Chain A
Amino acid sequence: MVKTLEDLAKIKDKAKATLSARSAEQSTKVVIGMGTCGIAAGAREVMAAILDELGKRNLAAVTVAQTGCVGLCDKEPLVEIIRSGKPKVMYGRINAERARRIVAQDIVNDQIIGEWVVGTKA
């Protein structure tokens, strides 16, 4: 039901997220290690948790991508947060619950969770 311009804006905001995945201009990127090692350690559940958490918070401007094994199999599942103009942060041994906290604390509030960090790279 669209009766006013505000109604239209509401629908737009809700639906915008669906489309933002179809443009390559996003500022924040989450990369999940999805090699055999990552998947065996539970990366799929991590991916699902991150997508779900981002969805709940309407954070459509975040790209979620996967990558292969980076060589740190022992620390899988690995989750990397990449922001333009900031060092990359890689978290290790992430499970679904920790993944949700990464979304809340790092992606939303911009605070690195030091205890899980495996490394950073400028």
Chain B
Amino acid sequence: MRLFRAHVLVCAGTNCSLKSNKAVQDRLVREVERRGLADEIKVVETGCFGLCEQGPTVVVYPEGVLYCRVTPDDVPELVEEHLLKGRRLDRLLYREEVPAAGAAVSAGPKAFQTVPEMNFFRGQVRIVLRNCGIIDPESIEEYIANGGYEALGKAITAMTPAAVVEEVKASGLRGRGGAGFPAGLKWEFAAKAKGDTKYIVCNADEGEPGTFKDRLILEGDPHAIIEGMALAAYAIGATQGYVYIRGEYGLSIDRLQKAINRAKEMKLLGRGIFGSKFDFDIEIRTGAGAYICGEETALFESLEGGRGEPRLKPPYPTDSGLFGKPTAINNVETLASVAQIIANGAKWYRGFGTERSPGTKVFTLTGDIVNEGLIEVPMGITLREIIFGIGGGVPNGRSFKMAQSGGTSGGCLPAALLDVPMDYDELAKAGAALGSGALLIMDDTHCIVDIARVFARFFMHESCGKCVPCREGTFRLHEFVENATKGKATPQDLQTVHALARTMALASLCPLGQAAPVPLLSTLQYFRDEYDQHINEKRCPTGTCRGLATPAKALSAAGKGA
């Protein structure tokens, strides 16, 4: 075995690869060699570290020093200062405003030396992301070193399939794709369904705009998905699994395929796993980027080679899913949680989160927030803690206007609801949804009506057209909001929209049409005055909607005029 005195971890998640992380890594390897340090220093490519806004990030262990926004030109100095001379390179250290939340006077940005002392990480509990940014995702050995495949071994050698189902049921794990259906219950239905051939499908189609957690989990810890799927297959009696993944997720597909190949070489997939009679194999199928294919029955249609349109339910997938066989279909994050639950027990898992929503949730933070990126927090944390604690608040001195939770099909929460606990039931009460875990933060320069128009256009574009309420409804919703941004909507239209939204929610075939009115309705509920200004006074308070009157102070505040 070779030891190194320092490990230099370069984030190679998608967000960092967009910022030339590869060039940084190559330069690091070259510099380390040039300085004759190749025997002492190991350069490792990892999955997403979570701090995407600050990327490309480089972490140097054993100290755990985090360097941000590293460019290839910074590398020679970094190697010389930190690795050769042992001094921290101050100008690239992570900086955070301290104190973070609630204080009137900021002490100015403080340079943080190491990972554990950062606010960004202190508030997090990493179960799904425990390996992300720590291990090399292309090394099965590093996954095993962190306890990987032990849960699968334990399940196969010491537990019956029914016991695995019971454990997941007892953990209270709910589907992380958005609907929040209890995962254990789903497995139980699939296990009890009649039929010799059953399937486990991993839904990695992640089509919700603003969500990129599944992508980064797949990139950062692909073996966790394989282990989770194998556990699910063992529990329900399946021998074949499929991962349906977006075709655009090149790096995720690549890493997952490599991981599957390695697992097969190690006999952790294939025939007779752990010397038992349990056979299991996984195949990857790529989607073509249609939002509707994230819906489970449309996904099956697409997997079977058909046109991606939803089926009528019932029958539910656990009775008749893929190829008409009983199928358990789970989201990436759900499957990534399973191995930890089996390894540590349901009771341990229930120690996190709330009574009805146990465990942790991965969120993607985007929009007007200081630390854009990927975080994992216990269920039941408040929006305020996420945005102003971990997220670092709203940048540029602006104030918080709203947060959209759950992606484009989620509701919009105003500042008054910042203290709502983030779990499935509490958010549903507020007219929003936890959904996929996307959090889009907007500051006060944005016009609510204009944003609602963008959401409405998205649904109009993505409706598959199979059922009338969705096909026509999304078109009319968009028409209404577009008219409102042009000052052409009438108070009568508002009533029509409410009636239309009710019809869509009741009569649409699948969640696309059912959820399409949600963002519009929630903005109408919480920002009614802004709609009234657009409709009655023909005025846009933020100056976003062209052609409408704008108060002068809004213009100067937004920097859009004199």
Contact = CB atoms under 8 A, between A and B. Distances in A.
A24 B3 contact: no
Given A19-B146, A21-B61, A65-B5, A5 B86 contact: no
A40 interface: no
Interface stretch (B137-145, B358-366, B485-493, B508-516): B137-145
Nearest to A13: B145
B34 to A, nearest CB: 14
A20 B135 CA distance: 11
Interface string A27-43: 00000001000000000
Contact of B141 (A14, A51, A64, A66): A14
Given A8-B150, A12-B147, A24-B62, A18 B6 contact: no
Contact of B86 (A12, A59, A63, A68): A68
Interface stretch (B192-200, B267-275, B294-302, B304-312): B267-275
Contacts of A3: 267, 274-275
B84 to A, nearest CB: 8
B145 A19 contact: yes
Interface in B1-39: 1-7, 9, 36, 39
B85 interface: yes
Nearest to B153: A5
Contacts of B135: 19
A122 interface: no
A1 B273 CA distance: 10
Given A2-B267, A15-B142, A22 B9 contact: yes
A37 B84 CA distance: 14
Interface in A35-77: 44, 47-48, 51-52, 54-56, 58-60, 63-68
B116 A66 contact: no
Nearest to A16: B145
B97 interface: no
A105 interface: no
A54 B4 CA distance: 10
Chain B residues touching A, range: 35 or more
Contact of A24 (B2, B42, B64, B274): B64
Contacts of A68: 85-87
B150 A22 contact: no
A108 interface: no
Contacts of A113: none
B116 A24 contact: yes
A4 interface: yes
Nearest to A59: B3
Contacts of A21: 3-7, 42, 61-62
Chain A residues touching B, range: 35 or more
Nearest to B83: A66
B134 A19 contact: yes
Candidate in B1, B135, B266 with the most chain A CB atoms within 10 angstroms: B1
Contacts of B64: 24
A51 B3 contact: yes
Contacts of B248: none
A22 B3 contact: no
A15 B144 contact: yes
Interface string B64-87: 100000000000000000001111
A26 interface: yes
Contact of B39 (A16, A51, A56, A58): A51
Contact of A51 (B5, B7, B85, B267): B5
B483 interface: no
A14 B39 CA distance: 19
A55 B266 CA distance: 24
Contacts of A23: 61-62
Interface of A: 1-5, 8, 11-12, 14-19, 21-24, 26, 34, 44, 47-48, 51-52, 54-56, 58-60, 63-68
Interface of B: 1-7, 9, 36, 39-40, 42, 61-64, 84-87, 114, 116, 134-135, 139, 141-142, 144-147, 149-150, 153-154, 157, 266-268, 274-275
Given A24-B63, A48-B40, A66-B86, 12 more contacts: A1-B266, A2-B266, A15-B142, A17-B3, A21-B5, A22-B7, A34-B86, A51-B40, A55-B1, A55-B2, A60-B3, A63-B62
29 contacts: A3-B274, A4-B274, A5-B150, A5-B154, A11-B141, A12-B150, A15-B142, A16-B145, A17-B1, A17-B3, A18-B141, A18-B142, A19-B134, A19-B145, A19-B146, A21-B3, A21-B5, A22-B62, A34-B84, A34-B86, A47-B40, A51-B4, A51-B39, A52-B3, A56-B1, A63-B5, A66-B86, A68-B85, A68-B86
